[in-house]
Structure 1
Amino acid sequence: MFRKAIVGCAQHAPWRLITGRRSTSTSTSTSVSSAVDSILLRSLKEHYEEAAKMNPPPKVSPPSPFGIVTGAMEGNGPVLKRMYGDEEISLSVMRLAHVVGGGDEDDDGINQLFVHVVVSKPGQNDSLHFLCGLYPDALGIHSVSMRPKHESQGFLAVPSKYNGPVFEDIDEKMRDSFHSYIEERGIDESLFPFLQAWLYVKDNRNLMRWFRAVGTFISGQKSAKGA
């Protein structure tokens, strides 16, 4: 009789049994998801707090007359600018390892930098671009190209026209002249201490910002303005 009663209930209201099973499954899934979120949020918070304890490197000023571009720490554009006569010289920087992959870094920090130098003149439609490797005691040019001023100055921007010959294929005398050209404009190893310290701080800020942004997303909170 008891079995018949259950069958009868199922025949008259089958959705009740199905709904009950779904509710239990959904509840269990939600509970597991909540637990996973909590673990991840706790880990993100711990790593954020650890990154916040970083001791910044000694403050280093860029060689005169270079000036730090306002807001450079928060963006991906030029870091330093200066005037050389009527020319504007701008310089962007990133880790060499981020460009070529791999790379060796010892415990003292970033020892291989990649710099993008742009020389612009008033009245000229194109700018002269240098991609260089910068080290504590040397600077080497990887390429020299002409690009329209309106084109992106980003590292990975693809020029819209002929990019020039492979730098190593150029006559040695011309290569030496190009090195003298940018050295005359202050682009040499004297920039390394400032750019190394600047990148160290920027990388740490980006890491903290990433931990905070991911945590905000997972917790479902609205991100704070400027975070």
Structure 2
Amino acid sequence: MWRKVLSGAVKQRPWRLIPNRRSSSSSVSSAVNSMILRSLKEHYHEVSKMTPPPKVSPPSPFTVVKGSLDGNGPVLRRSYGEEEVSISVMRLANIIPGAGEDSGDGDEDGGINQLFLHVDVSKPGRSDSLHFLCGLYPDALGIHSVSMRPKVKADSLSLAVPNTYDGPLFEDLDERMRDAFHSYIEERGVNDSLFPFLQAWLYVKDHRNLMRWFKSVGTFINENKSAKDT
């Protein structure tokens, strides 16, 4: 899979311990900087040549939020009558490190088949919104919690945090209410049909973040090297 190849580009040349040599501090520092910069450049070029996954469009009528690849906020938005529905996504492994990686379920994508959705349903004239935390899988979607949160602004690239009571545990609600909440978000298009797009979107975001990391770390070390040379 594409993400597995992406991580392999970093792992195929593991860092080696540098033997302790008696030499001047400046020469050691220069050698270390050069080694890191060379490795960063090699990895940057390797990752830049990778073919991204096929482009997938979100299910209509959802649209992609402009700038979402560079932020941590909503990825998709749509209107439902007078309501606005916004969706943010993160990988399960980002919330619980290592989750899904060694589960033995045949998943080769390191948790990419287990996503968390933040779904906000807002109405005009209100400062708060109805927030759902959901688990999304290739063939299913389940609700973990329902709460009221500050409304996510249309131009926001970050998630709103709760400042009031989060409500009861979803599993403690009676079955009829749980079923009704599932029907509520399904009517607004929140279901497993979102999975292919959000999975591909996360692959692309991973690629961007890795490229940016190689470049920013290299720039920092190179600037430090230049400062010492002056």
Distance of aligned partners of 1:142 and 1:71 in 2 relative to their CA distance in 1, 3 Å threshold:
same
User: Which position in structure 1 is the counterpart of 2:67?
Assistant: 71
User: Which position in structure 1 is the counterpart of 2:184?
Assistant: 181
1:76-225 aligned at under 5 Å gives the runs: 76-105=72-101, 106-107=107-108, 110-149=112-151, 154=158, 158-220=161-223
Q: Secondary structure at the match of 1:58?
A: coil
After TM superposition, the structure 1 stretch with the greater mean CA deviation from structure 2, 187-196 or 142-151, is 142-151
After TM superposition, the structure 1 stretch with the greater mean CA deviation from structure 2, 37-46 or 107-116, is 107-116
Q: Secondary structure at the match of 2:99?
A: coil
Q: Deviations over 1:151-208 (max 9, x none)?
A: 98956x6421110001111111101110100000000000000000010011111011
CA distance in structure 2 between the aligned counterparts of 1:131 and 1:196, rounded to whole angstroms:
17
CA distance in structure 2 between the aligned counterparts of 1:134 and 1:120, rounded to whole angstroms:
21
CA distance in structure 1 between the aligned counterparts of 2:36 and 2:211, rounded to whole angstroms:
15
Q: Alpha carbon RMSD of aligned pairs, Å? A: 1.9
Moved over 3 A (4+): 150-155
Distance of aligned partners of 1:154 and 1:179 in 2 relative to their CA distance in 1, 3 Å threshold:
farther
Deviation at 1:148, TM superposition (A): 2.5
Q: Secondary structure at the match of 2:126?
A: coil
CA contact (8 A) 2:77 2:86 kept: yes
User: Which position in structure 2 is the counterpart of 1:44?
Assistant: 40
Distance of aligned partners of 1:29 and 1:108 in 2 relative to their CA distance in 1, 3 Å threshold:
closer
Identical pairs, percent: 73
Distance of aligned partners of 1:150 and 1:185 in 2 relative to their CA distance in 1, 3 Å threshold:
closer
For structure 1, list consecutive stretches of 5 or more residues without a partner in the other structure.
1-26, 222-227
1:1-40 aligned at under 5 Å gives the runs: 28-40=24-36
CA distance in structure 1 between the aligned counterparts of 2:91 and 2:109, rounded to whole angstroms:
14
Distance of aligned partners of 1:116 and 1:68 in 2 relative to their CA distance in 1, 3 Å threshold:
same
- May I ask how many residue pairs the two structures share in their alignment? 194
CA contact (8 A) 2:141 2:191 kept: yes
CA contact (8 A) 2:71 2:158 kept: no
CA distance in structure 2 between the aligned counterparts of 1:153 and 1:41, rounded to whole angstroms:
32
Q: TM-score, normalised by structure 2?
A: 0.79
Distance of aligned partners of 1:153 and 1:212 in 2 relative to their CA distance in 1, 3 Å threshold:
closer
Q: Deviations over 1:11-34 (max 9, x none)?
A: xxxxxxxxxxxxxxxx92111100
- Larger of the two Rg values belongs to structure: 1
User: Which position in structure 1 is the counterpart of 2:13?
Assistant: none
Q: TM-score, normalised by structure 1?
A: 0.80
Question: Which letter maps to 1:220?
Answer: E
